[in-house]
A and B are shown apart, each in its own frame.
Chain A
Amino acid sequence: MQHDTLVEIRDVVFGYGARPVLKGVNLTARRGQVVAIMGSSGCGKTTLLRLIGGQVRPRQGSVRVAGESVGELDRAGLYRLRRKMGMLFQFGALFTDMPVFDNVAFQLREHTDLPEDVIRDLVLMKLDAVGLRGAAELMPSELSGGMARRVALARAIALDPMLVMYDEPFAGLDPISLGVTGNLIRRLTDTLGLTSLLVTHDVQESLKIVDYVYFVSDGIIVAEGTADEIRASTLPYVHQFVHGESDGPVPFHYPAPTYAEDLRLGAQRA
């Protein structure tokens, strides 16, 4: 593991029950990079984030974050590592019973003994970084989808983590919020010296901001490269994905008997 490597996944195999999800995945994220994991829905992208966060453990292979093998850590070790990670959930996962300010202050209050006026300054700084200092007193129910995502981002960076993971950060956003969120991820990664790992299927928006892309399909990495390499790729799967073609290696139709069989054409009807 090179010293500038923050996340290293080697030959990871994982499944839920009898259903295999990942069948030998290798992936590396270097410090300071924005790395995207792309693939169609249900291909195992979010599972990769759950493995890195230690919510699930690999059946085979290793997941190392900052040199520590996540799958082998005990609960205390895992919690210690998680304090250095931030995670942005798909719809923000803000605590709905507390206002924006308390959401962002949550980790500071739970994990530090800082006096309340210092916490206030820190929270306002984080909220200012995402442009929502003025929304500090609002409840999550009063926020739009894009604002909720930005508050969740402020909460994720509250303890100045080394790694921030984003689960579908662009899902369901209007074009303006889409651009704002993308720029924020890039800007915060650069200014705070973070490493960002985002799981997405929004190709165009993420290719604008990422340093490196991995494509996951059917439980394996089928392609990887820089944004320019991915745009120029002639691999059928990548080409279909980047250009949003409805048919290709990922078929339009779910596997089924032939149409004629399903309609019982030619069969005798009682």
Chain B
Amino acid sequence: MPRRWIEGLGRRTIEGVWRIGFAARFFGVMLLHSGTAFQRLGLTIREMYFSGVLSLTIILVSGLFVGMVLGLQGYDTLQRFGSESALGTLVALSLVRELGPVLAGLMFASRAGSAITAEIGLMKATEQLSAMEMMAVDPIARVVAPRFWAGVISMPLLAALFSAMGILGGYLVGVRLIGVDEGTFWSQMQGSVDFTQDILNGVVKSVVFGVAITTIALFEGYDAPPTAEGVSGATTRTVVTSSLVVLALDFVLTAFMFRGTN
């Protein structure tokens, strides 16, 4: 029994390492075949509509609610120390540094990532990718690369919109509902948010999350067994893996970016 268990563990480990290798190779090939995505921008823009524009509703609505909750919780905590004037700073920094990129990433993974995996997986299962290959059209260049770049471009824009809506939510609750001074709310925010340290680092995070989520989604779809069960399993793996990767990468990036700053 222990021997079989160890054998199973070894097999799964080897399979896991193989898959990481395949994914890395897939990523490299995708970058090498990215020319079409830029030469025929129409293809990439079309995919930006599907993964970016169609994710807008969930991003904007969740951003608004997160900002409203931040306004409530932030005010509740800050007023204990008599610092409710710092509400604007708290809401803005929380969003642009962390919550914007991370939550927008998680939303993007569940909305656009799962759709990308299901679409590519079904294209494979219904032999559309093979048909393309047989028509001397490279599916990596024609189908995969435009989706990748569309995701990478869309993700920081979605994160920025998430943060903007969050700040609006914080303003509505903090200023309009609770009555924090409007001038203080905005001037504190303006004075304490640093462009490089806060906004640019948030943008870098969201680009990295975009690369990670889109690569995972595309790889899972491309690698999915061509069956209903295979595609559904791949879709689930996309959401689970990319969510975990976003959270893990967030920690690593934060550790590098904000080390030694206040």
Contact = CB atoms under 8 A, between A and B. Distances in A.
B47 to A, nearest CB: 11
Contacts of B135: 82-83, 87, 106-107, 110
Contacts of A85: 134
Interface stretch (B1-9, B122-130, B173-181): B122-130
Interface string A127-141: 000000000000000
A96 B126 contact: yes
A107 to B, nearest CB: 5
Given A93-B126, A93-B127, A96-B128, A55 B136 contact: no
Interface string B176-206: 0000000000000000000000000000000
B133 interface: yes
Nearest to A50: B130
A63 to B, nearest CB: 15
Contact of B127 (A90, A106, A111): A90
Interface string B101-139: 000000000000000000000110011101101111110
A39 interface: no
Contacts of B136: 78-80, 82-83, 107, 110-111
Contacts of B127: 89-91, 93
A96 B120 CA distance: 12
Interface residues of A, number: 20
Nearest to A83: B136
A53 interface: yes
**DSSP class of B's interface residues: helix, strand, loop or mixed?**
helix
Nearest to B127: A93
A110 B134 contact: no
Contacts of A78: 136
A184 B245 CA distance: 52
A94 B122 CA distance: 12
Contacts of A95: 128, 131
Contacts of B128: 93-96
A57 to B, nearest CB: 14
A210 B73 CA distance: 77
Contacts of A79: 136, 138
Interface string A41-80: 0000000000001010000000000000000000000111
A79 B134 CA distance: 8
A55 B130 contact: yes
Nearest to B135: A107
Contact of B131 (A83, A87, A110, A111): A87
Contact of A89 (B122, B131, B138): B131
Contacts of A83: 135-136
B91 to A, nearest CB: 41
Contacts of B142: 110
A93 B137 contact: no
A55 B138 CA distance: 12
A48 B142 CA distance: 27
A55 B126 contact: no
Contacts of A53: 134
20 contacts: A53-B134, A55-B133, A79-B138, A82-B133, A82-B136, A85-B134, A87-B131, A89-B127, A89-B130, A91-B126, A91-B127, A93-B126, A93-B130, A96-B123, A106-B135, A106-B137, A107-B136, A110-B136, A110-B137, A110-B142
Given A96-B123, A96-B126, 10 more contacts: A55-B130, A83-B136, A87-B134, A89-B130, A91-B126, A106-B137, A107-B135, A107-B137, A110-B136, A110-B137
